[in-house]
Chain A
Amino acid sequence: MDPTSLTAFISIASAALAIAIGSVGPALGEGRAVAQALQAIAQQPDESNTISRTLFVGLAMIESTAIYCFVVSMILIFANPFWNHFVQAAGGE
């Protein structure tokens, strides 16, 4: 396999791996957080304002790890620096 197609192959495969593995962890974490928050609201309905605000902020913090993986895989697919290097080398010849 020549270097160009090897770069493309590895980039696409690692983009898929990044978003696949990177979405499992935050999904589990968000599930736990929402379950605990619902339990807390069920026990103390008066505090639901504070709990849901903290829940939203916490969910955003957890979700940002998945977003990082998404950004990395988007970079690998649409703005890959290694791929661009090969494209420029081919154009420069």
Chain B
Amino acid sequence: MTISPDEIVLFRWGVVELNATIGLSWLVMLLLVVVSAAITRNLSTGTGMSRWQNLLEVLVTGMRDQIREVSRQDPGIYLPFVGTLFLFIATANLLMILPGWMPPTGSLSTTTALALSVFIAVPLFGIAQQGVLEYLRHYVRPTPLMLPFNLIGELSRTLALAVRLYGNVMSGTVIVAILVGIAPLVFPIVMRALGLLTGLIQAYIFAVLAMVYIASATTAYREEEQAARSTRDRDPMNHSKED
């Protein structure tokens, strides 16, 4: 029983192997790039637009709205990263509707790579928004006693991101493989349909969690500052009334 596309080796040059995980990831990337390029080649700004342009507009505006609601910031700089994560995982999982497709997210290597990119993106966005010192001061907040816990939390949530996506997709594959052995008539199709739902939800959750982590690195201080400023603003008014 193959439970991960890592076990299928497509090509081998000496010590370098190209397994199905990498091949299928490239296929998903190629599909996304080619389809998007083909659709965006002739965009229209008028009322008459192709249905494909409509699809892309719905996707992009939907992602922008979700990012704005989660982070309460302008989604402009986050959309390329978070939207790419969502589109890649969603496409990889939804192509499970094709017979014989093994989602590349069902391999721990792919999900680890995605989680590592989030792990790197969080400090990059945080430093870009606040500067190095302000970002590093996050780790000693509220007290320096919390420094080891903040560091462990940073690492363990990366591990959790990777294992969560891997476990969900892999469990769907394993359950279908077991059911094909036990009751091959209808039940695998039902579990596949459930797998489509789980795959889409997991893609959404991965993107939302990435956005939540980035937002926590970019906004925590700003809220404190705003709270401090609002109390400071309130005080002079009280004084002036008293005067």
Contacts and interface: CB of A to CB of B under 8 A. Distances in A.
Interface of A: 49-50, 53, 56-57, 60, 63-64, 67-68, 70-71, 74, 78
A80 B132 CA distance: 44
A78 to B, nearest CB: 6
Contact of B168 (A49, A67, A74, A78): A67
A57 B208 CA distance: 8
Task: Tell me whether chain A's interface is mostly helix, strand or loop, or mixed.
Answer: helix
A53 B69 contact: yes
Contacts, number: 43
B160 A64 contact: yes
| Chain B interface residue bracket vs A | 20 to 34
B170 A56 contact: no
17 contacts: A50-B69, A56-B201, A57-B205, A57-B209, A60-B164, A63-B164, A67-B164, A67-B167, A68-B167, A70-B171, A71-B163, A71-B166, A71-B170, A74-B3, A74-B170, A74-B171, A78-B1
Contact of A53 (B163, B171, B208): B208
B105 interface: no
Q: Which of A53, A57, A60, A78 has the most CB of B within 10 A?
A: A60
A67 B163 CA distance: 8
Given A56-B201, A60-B202, A64-B160, A71 B167 contact: yes
B147 interface: no
Given A56-B204, A64-B160, A67-B164, A78 B3 contact: yes
